[in-house]
């Protein structure tokens, strides 16, 4: 029996009632709830159980308040068409690499574990349209919610993609949680600069067991994007509006998650998406000029970079803490055109003397850092702070981690940070 | 003679050529430049001089490359109409408090110092339209670019406003730099909750000596807003579009600077501005419900709060550094619906055990933090992290500084942070 994550009172309660994770149960408490018993995690308390309701939301129910609990039906693994899809030799081949996230969470609650969802058969069962676009192979790399990903995971994904750079696949889908998708997109853009195939990072804002899920359409559109456009590089493919009429393909270094829950949370900063997938067509942004650089993989990251968002009351001693802790670079999210208060100058000077790289972006997110307009900016330039154009702060952070992974030389680092490696600077 | 900020080689160069700050000069170098010699600051190098060109931009010129420098005319203090404006007893009275910033920087280069610009006479000279809207008194509180402001400055502004809470003024304009205007707006919103008059923070994205300046129209619109609407509370009044047809009045806790340079950089997050000032009308957002709470000034801030933006590779030891440095609260800018990676849990637990307040906002900026949807969120709730709804991260930071200034009790703090004090939570 699986009671994954339950302990103490809640485990006792479940064992007594012969309920296990994945069961569809009916619970009488202040109201009556029907849902699937979900697993719990290490830091959970022991006086709640968690159900996934039919509307897709999870609810925690306090054991003390439960009057009755009973199994409604056994694990609701409807025997959908989970046979391998027929391959069509006329269609191109796509690889789908699964890394976890909401898009892969559909069957979590059915198996009661965190096992990955997107096997080819399951994909075929849940998104049958996709087999008419391409023959899809699937591969599970790992299965993590993306808030738990680290630069080490970026490296794993990049190495996996690199191993397929000369493969027969027309393009590759990376199923990924949305929380840190933009960081991974940036990391792949730098480490696999010039990648010869199109890569679509695809996530979903609502899990595919909810009627409003964006998972299927994002996957179908990503497959169409990979097959129908003759492009290459790293993209994020997600809804472009709250309706189902447009899916956007954002360039990997210029994309940001700008809403916690909307299906069109992802936006291209300072421009428009590169492609818009519509019902019958795929429209290309005429302003987008792809890079002609050859493929040049450099898959190394060094996470000794601190992103510092400046604000009134920010303690300059944090810079000294970074120095003393062995950090090699600081990316500021400054105010406005790229400023921090005068209180920071002495600490910045010390950091520069210790050889740290200090780059400036803006917490405004959109627009260009211009440090020659005001005295504050010119002072910072004189202190050795490097302006990073209109690079978005998260992309600048990832780029610094990547640059440090490939050079230890501060002058080389300064050069790399100001060079347009993967269209991260658009103006 | 004023050579404010010049030293070493550049000072010698200016003295030799008998040029002083404020002079209109013609410089022959790689090209020929006409402009006003600007003052410099403490951290400037000594091998450049800085000119403000006629297009409003500043340029640094390397002394070594200067072939010739000569005075074009004496300080360009055109004797504009700097007489006191006639008061019209039929018009209401407005107070303008100047704190610095671009909007007050017009005459910096004429006087060669950092002396504040907006005296009543100068305002009358540069924005004559305003004297037809209201009789304006002006007062200079301090003169700082807003990137240099600290919570101490918020206190000064709040106390000044508080001293006028029962005055004859119909409303008050606070001229302010745009870099940290949203932080000040939030600080005033909390500390002067229920303020009985309307307060308009007004800045400009382009200084008023540039043809594209937004300064005049922002000031005129703010005066109209104060006089024509019967509202109260703290607002930010800035351009609503890149043209001059609409000025937006944003609610002080829901506004954010979202572009480094555009005139309509300020936006209301998760909604529309409260008022739109048009050529002939002022339109009110029908969805805006003002608070009925009585005026209750609490002008205290404690800056022992750290804003931490989470990202892949974030070092959990930074939380321990915050604990050891005596911080009393941490506001996370988490990912997505309000998450941080599992690597953070142990440090968060230690912080909670030490009695720190830990609040969660989202780096998505727009949308609500919902920590019950995924295990990650529920884990963090179990660790004692407090979800802060759709409060924008910068507002949450300021609110935490304000809350800590008014209570040392963690339970009280948690209550205050979740209570809607100044419409900072809009959903």
Q: Mind listing the pLDDT tens digit for each residue in A184-227?
A: 999 999 999 999 999 999 999 876 656 667 888 999 999 999 99
A339, B179: Cβ pair inside 8 Å? yes
Residue A12: both structure tokens together: 């006792």
pLDDT per residue over A291-335, tens digit each? 888 999 999 999 999 999 999 999 999 999 999 999 999 999 999
Nearest to A400 by CA among A300, A314, A255: A300
Judged by average pLDDT, the poorest of A136-150, A397-411, B56-70 is: B56-70
pLDDT per residue over B76-104, tens digit each? 444 444 566 778 999 999 999 999 887 77
* Contact call for residues B335 and B304 (beta carbons, < 8 A): no
3-state SS, residue B106: coil
Q: Best interface-test mutation with B: which of A311, A318, A319, A348 has the largest number of B CBs within 10 A? A: A311
* Residue in B41, B312, B362 closest to A151 by CB: B312
Nearest chain A CA: its distance from B377 CA (Å): 10
Domain spans of chain B? Answer: 8-73, 93-284, 305-418
Nearest to B13 by CA among B57, B76, B65, B53: B65
Residue ranges of B 316-345 with Cβ closer than 8 A to chain A? 317-318, 321, 325, 333-343, 345
From chain A, the residues in CB contact with B182 under 8 A are none
Chain B residue nearest residue A395, CA to CA: B311
**What does the pLDDT read at residue B112?**
40
* Contact call for residues B236 and B201 (beta carbons, < 8 A): yes
Cα–Cα distance, B328 to B333 (Å, whole number): 17
User: Is A411 near chain B, with CB under 8 Å?
Assistant: no
**What does the pLDDT read at residue A43?**
64
Site of tokens 């637990």: B349
From chain A, the residues in CB contact with B184 under 8 A are 312
* Contact call for residues B385 and B353 (beta carbons, < 8 A): no
B309, A309: Cβ pair inside 8 Å? yes
Torsion angle of the four alpha carbons B320, B326, B329, B334, in this order, in degrees rounded to the nearest 10: -30
- Non-local (6+) Cβ contacts of A161 within 8 A are A97, A172, A174, A188, A192, A195, A199
Chain B residue nearest residue A270, CA to CA: B259
* Residue in B303, B342, B364 closest to A259 by CB: B364
pLDDT per residue over B28-66, tens digit each? 998 899 888 887 766 677 888 888 777 666 788 889 999
B209 is catalytic: no
Cα–Cα distance, A288 to A274 (Å, whole number): 6
Q: Is the pLDDT of residue A255 over 50?
A: yes
pLDDT per residue over B149-208, tens digit each? 999 999 999 999 999 999 999 999 999 999 999 999 999 999 999 999 999 999 998 766
Positive or negative torsion for Cα A360, A365, A370, A375: negative
**What does the pLDDT read at residue A80?**
46
User: Is B376 near chain A, with CB under 8 Å?
Assistant: yes
Chain B residue nearest residue A316, CA to CA: B306
Q: What number is the average pLDDT over the span B338-354? A: 97
Site of tokens 């005296």: B119
* Residue in B44, B310, B362 closest to A378 by CB: B44
Q: What number is the average pLDDT over the span B112-138? A: 73
From chain A, the residues in CB contact with B336 under 8 A are 147, 178-179, 257, 260
B333, A309: Cβ pair inside 8 Å? yes
Catalytic residues of A: 102, 178-179, 257
A336, B178: Cβ pair inside 8 Å? yes
Nearest chain B CA: its distance from A365 CA (Å): 6
A43, B382: Cβ pair inside 8 Å? yes
User: Is B108 near chain A, with CB under 8 Å?
Assistant: no
Residue A383: both structure tokens together: 């202190």
B311, A183: Cβ pair inside 8 Å? yes
A325, B345: Cβ pair inside 8 Å? no
B338, A364: Cβ pair inside 8 Å? no
Architecture of domain B93-284: 3-Layer(aba) Sandwich (3.40)
A148, B379: Cβ pair inside 8 Å? no
**What does the pLDDT read at residue A111?**
40
* Residue in A60, A305, A312 closest to B150 by CB: A312
Number of helices (H) and strands (E), helices first, in chain B? 11, 19
Residue ranges of A 22-51 with Cβ closer than 8 A to chain B? 39-45, 50
B147, A265: Cβ pair inside 8 Å? no
What's the ipTM? 0.85
From chain B, the residues in CB contact with A337 under 8 A are 260-261
Q: How are the residues of chain B apportioned to helix, strand and coil, as percentages rounded to the nearest 5?
A: 30, 25, 50
Q: Say how many residues make up chain B.
A: 427
**What does the pLDDT read at residue A113?**
41
Q: What is each CA distance from A185 to A178, A200, A252, A255, B347, in whole angstroms?
A: 11, 9, 5, 8, 28
* Contact call for residues A266 and A182 (beta carbons, < 8 A): yes
Chain A residue nearest residue B114, CA to CA: A375
Residue ranges of A 273-312 with Cβ closer than 8 A to chain B? 301, 303, 305-307, 309-312
The model's confidence at residue A112, banded by pLDDT at 50, 70 and 90, is: very low
Cα–Cα distance, B164 to A77 (Å, whole number): 68
* Contact call for residues A1 and A20 (beta carbons, < 8 A): yes
| B282 burial level (CB within 10 Å; 0-12, 13-18, 19+) | middle
Q: Is the pLDDT of residue B110 over 70?
A: no
Cα–Cα distance, B34 to B70 (Å, whole number): 10
From chain B, the residues in CB contact with A262 under 8 A are 366-367
Nearest chain B CA: its distance from A50 CA (Å): 10
A342, B146: Cβ pair inside 8 Å? no
From chain B, the residues in CB contact with A146 under 8 A are 335
3-state SS, residue B97: strand
3-state SS, residue B70: strand
The model's confidence at residue A1, banded by pLDDT at 50, 70 and 90, is: low
User: Is B364 near chain A, with CB under 8 Å?
Assistant: yes
- What CATH class is the domain B305-418? alpha beta
**What does the pLDDT read at residue A108?**
45
Q: What is each CA distance from B56 to B118, B143, B205, in whole angstroms?
A: 19, 20, 12
Name the percent of chain B lying above pLDDT 70.
Answer: 90
3-state SS, residue B380: helix
Nearest chain B CA: its distance from A135 CA (Å): 32
* Residue in A44, A180, A368 closest to B382 by CB: A44
B311, A40: Cβ pair inside 8 Å? no
B383, A58: Cβ pair inside 8 Å? no
- Non-local (6+) Cβ contacts of A121 within 8 A are A82, A83, A84, A85
Cα–Cα distance, A353 to B8 (Å, whole number): 22
Cα–Cα distance, B105 to B222 (Å, whole number): 19
Chain B residue nearest residue A394, CA to CA: B311
Nearest chain B CA: its distance from A423 CA (Å): 20
The model's confidence at residue B20, banded by pLDDT at 50, 70 and 90, is: confident
User: Is B250 near chain A, with CB under 8 Å?
Assistant: no
Q: What number is the average pLDDT over the span A110-116? A: 42
Positive or negative torsion for Cα B298, B301, B302, B306: positive
- Non-local (6+) Cβ contacts of B266 within 8 A are B178, B181, B182, B236, B238, B239, B248, B250, B255, B256, B257, B258
* Residue in A183, A260, A367 closest to B262 by CB: A367
Name the percent of chain A lying above pLDDT 70.
Answer: 90
**What does the pLDDT read at residue A104?**
72
User: Is A168 near chain B, with CB under 8 Å?
Assistant: no
**What does the pLDDT read at residue A23?**
85
Name the percent of chain A lying above pLDDT 90.
Answer: 69
Domain B93-284 identical in fold to domain B305-418:
yes
**What does the pLDDT read at residue B123?**
73
A180, B311: Cβ pair inside 8 Å? yes
B298 is catalytic: no
A367, B260: Cβ pair inside 8 Å? yes
Whether CATH 3.30.365.10 fits B8-73? no
A313, B401: Cβ pair inside 8 Å? yes
A336, B260: Cβ pair inside 8 Å? yes
**What does the pLDDT read at residue B111?**
40
Site of tokens 């981690």: A401
Nearest to A417 by CA among A344, A370, A361: A361
- Non-local (6+) Cβ contacts of B110 within 8 A are B22, B36, B75, B76, B77
Chain B residue nearest residue A53, CA to CA: B373
**What does the pLDDT read at residue A400?**
98
**What does the pLDDT read at residue B373?**
82
User: Is A60 near chain B, with CB under 8 Å?
Assistant: yes
**What does the pLDDT read at residue A155?**
98
Which residues, listed in sequence order, are joined to residue B305 by a DSSP beta bridge?
A: B329
The model's confidence at residue B210, banded by pLDDT at 50, 70 and 90, is: low
């Amino acid at each position: 029996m699986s009671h994954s994550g339950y302990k103490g009172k809640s485990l006792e309660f479940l064992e007594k009632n012969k309920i296990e994770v994945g069961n569809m149960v009916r619970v009488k408490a202040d109201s009556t709830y029907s849902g699937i018993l979900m697993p719990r995690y290490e830091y959970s308390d022991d006086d709640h159980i968690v159900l996934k309701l039919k509307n897709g939301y999870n609810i925690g129910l306090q054991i003390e308040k439960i009057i009755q609990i009973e199994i409604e039906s056994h694990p609701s693994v409807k025997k959908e068409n989970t046979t391998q899809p027929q391959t069509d030799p006329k269609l191109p081949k796509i690889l789908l690499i699964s890394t976890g996230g909401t898009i892969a969470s559909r069957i979590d609650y059915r198996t009661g574990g965190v096992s990955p969802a997107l096997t080819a058969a399951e994909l075929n069962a849940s998104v049958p349209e996709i087999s008419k676009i391409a023959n899809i192979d699937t591969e599970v790399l790992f299965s993590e919610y993306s808030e738990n990903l680290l630069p080490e995971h970026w490296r794993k994904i990049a190495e996996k993609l690199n191993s397929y750079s000369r493969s027969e696949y027309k393009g590759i889908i990376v199923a990924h949680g949305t929380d840190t998708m933009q960081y991974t997109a940036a990391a792949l853009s730098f480490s696999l600069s010039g990648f010869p195939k199109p890569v679509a990072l695809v996530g979903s804002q609502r899990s595919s067991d909810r009627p409003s899920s964006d998972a299927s359409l994002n996957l179908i559109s990503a497959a169409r994007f990979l097959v129908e456009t003759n492009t290459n590089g790293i993209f994020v493919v997600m809804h472009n509006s709250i309706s189902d009429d447009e899916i956007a393909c954002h360039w990997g270094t210029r994309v940001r998650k700008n809403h916690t829950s909307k299906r069109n949370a992802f936006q291209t900063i300072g421009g428009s998406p590169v492609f818009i997938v519509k019902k019958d067509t795929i429209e290309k942004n005429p302003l987008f000029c792809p890079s002609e650089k050859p493929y040049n993989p450099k898959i190394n990251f060094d996470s000794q970079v601190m992103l510092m968002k400046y604000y009134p009351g920010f303690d300059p001693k944090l810079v000294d803490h970074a120095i003393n802790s062995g950090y090699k670079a600081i990316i500021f999210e400054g105010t406005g055109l790229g400023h921090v208060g005068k209180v920071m100058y002495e600490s910045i000077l010390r950091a520069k003397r210790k050889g740290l790289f200090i780059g400036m972006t803006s917490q405004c997110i959109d627009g260009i850092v211009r440090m020659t307009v005001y005295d504050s900016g010119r002072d910072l330039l004189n202190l050795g702070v490097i302006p990073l154009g209109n690079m978005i702060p998260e992309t600048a952070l990832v780029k610094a981690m990547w640059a440090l992974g490939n050079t230890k030389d501060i002058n080389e680092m300064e050069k790399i940070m100001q060079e347009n490696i993967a269209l991260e600077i658009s103006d």
